[in-house]
Homo-oligomer: A and B are copies of this chain.
């Protein structure tokens, strides 16, 4: 049963973690894994992808829509919910939860809960709930609830839409308006609010389908911030009473057919249509979509059930937030799990999530990169704001591409004062990461359309930015990239960060290549691009050719992370931590404990070794892994997977395995940094989820694809008997099975061309429909 994630028993201390762990979503909506009786205190959230709002001078962040899944149940007048179990303000003791279980069926993306209560009169009442965020209908969440008791009693159901929601920097919705639209199938309740900043309407509708008929007493309750209905039902022992809620969420950003522009009408129509179709049919179409998703992506691990489940779970987390319908949104660093990190898109997408989609769902990869095309103007504005040319992409990007990142990202735990951090203005590698992502898409798919539809402009503008950012060192006769923050954010404002410089050089190369392609394919667009350019291609070429990129030391093989890194204090991580005076103190920034030491937050040089794996020989990789690994705090969830990948690459999968598991289980265990200073940073970790996939497929299975040839250089962890997975490379679909001593590569019959492969010391091609077995026993 490596498809089900389950927790038994109710632990109030796990409410926040489980809200992340048991998320459902469909790329348009994300719904936290909270229980039906939960409210804002328990961080319920319905996050709408791509809709942001700002209140006053507080941080801009995603809008949490009114909670259409709100529900309260009473048994003979006493509430039953896991929170107030055993005591409350009501008359008499509340029913006590005897058993409780929450689970997620990954295969069909269905969330379930089952709770059995013991009532004051010793009856047992069992409540189940099953919900999914429809993969077929992006605005719909469906929830089916059932109640069964061992004695007769009166069940009161309070169900509706709660607009008093969890907000970090809200409230974002103003002028909440309730609505109740009746037709022959019953009422559809609506709650509509308007965002503070741009007055975008957000409307939630709830239709309920129950078979209770005359048996029930109904009542409509309108409040300031909620609309609910109550149903009072005489229940008989042994009978199951079930009902379904059809909740639709539309916003002013959705244009859907006739109701375009009126999200309330769209939501009503959607919920009515869903009610008409009924639960089973909606579940079936949803489940079919998921079957297809898994067909294209599932990894089978033989010999390691824990890794199997963790890998599937990681992919599940990516699928539920994948923007498969829109090229205007990308994936935020905390997915759709809330408002943490402002719901912003970071480099995480290009560097840690994109590979998964490139290899499995290239249409999603294209959307992710088109998002950068659509936000190019924001990046241009940011560059201009700092006095540079070209495009300086937002460190924290929202819908416009303007940077949501503030100059003060963390509060000092000792003074409570905001601390100046150099994420926004100095993490310039973001523009190179974007260019890299666009070029990766082109290399993997062979699809030029992204470049021709604006991608070439993006990479060119990124290169122009770097040209205007760079300096020439007259004594050393080379270009340098000064004053940057690399991936290791504990060391801000450093010079010649090896990772950054190499990425910049690549970006310049990509820009020149993209320009060549554009000239060939769309000469007029090429002319237009260059006619207004302040920088000439020759200048980009000159910078490319004489840009300083730190190389491995001839003797030790080590690459210095940045100029002067070795002069910093070489303290052990344990010693550094023993100096901490507060468990949440930020280790970077002006006075951070790590700032003046060699302790790094996350893979930096080692990330470069991963991205440029063909540029370094194994001895160099090993030397740098061994040097930087004990000095890495892994204060970022982006770190472990990279150490896993490089360890696998150098043939030491058992070094890699603990890092892989740490990455793959991050949202299962909830064991990640929750606070930096007094800033809550919890939520899901899609970059780590993508990292888990990378570690398995690119690391342990050792798959590489350069746009022409695939290479397999497996290094399975000792517990893995085999791993098998599908991939798409260019227009072809393949299954790859890696065993301890053999490989099997199967090409789909419909593939357009053979795939050249290098594996097991051989070079061969896999023709459409062909299955090739290769021995990997070293001779």
Contact = CB atoms under 8 A, between A and B. Distances in A.
Interface stretch (A249-257, A588-596, A706-714, A734-742): A588-596
Interface string A437-475: 000000000000000000000000000000110111111
Contacts of A480: 471
Given A467-B474, A474-B467, A474-B470, A417 B591 contact: yes
Contacts of A534: 475
A560 interface: no
A412 B471 contact: no
A231 interface: no
Nearest to A473: B471
Contact of A590 (B473, B535, B543, B589): B589
A596 B407 contact: yes
Contacts of A468: 475
Nearest to A581: B415
Chain A: interface secondary structure? Answer: loop
Contacts of A613: none
Interface residues of A, number: 38
Nearest to A596: B420
A539 B475 CA distance: 10
Contacts of A407: 596
A699 interface: no
Contacts of A414: 414-415
A173 B314 CA distance: 67
Contacts of A591: 412, 415, 417, 419-420, 589-591
A100 interface: no
Contacts of A495: 483
A332 interface: no
Contacts of A535: 475
Contact of A483 (B387, B474, B483, B595): B483
Interface in A491-527: 493, 495
Contacts of A472: 471-474
Nearest to A389: B475
A482 interface: yes
Contacts of A475: 389, 467-468, 534-535
Contacts of A590: 420, 589-592, 595
- Of the candidates A408, A579, A591, the one having the most CB atoms from chain B within 10 angstroms of its own CB is A591
Interface string A532-553: 0011000100010000000000
Interface in A570-606: 579, 581, 589-593, 595-596
Contacts of A473: 471-472
Nearest to A470: B474
23 contacts: A389-B475, A407-B596, A414-B415, A415-B581, A415-B591, A417-B591, A417-B593, A420-B590, A420-B595, A420-B596, A471-B471, A471-B472, A471-B482, A472-B473, A472-B474, A474-B479, A474-B539, A482-B483, A493-B493, A589-B590, A589-B591, A590-B590, A590-B591
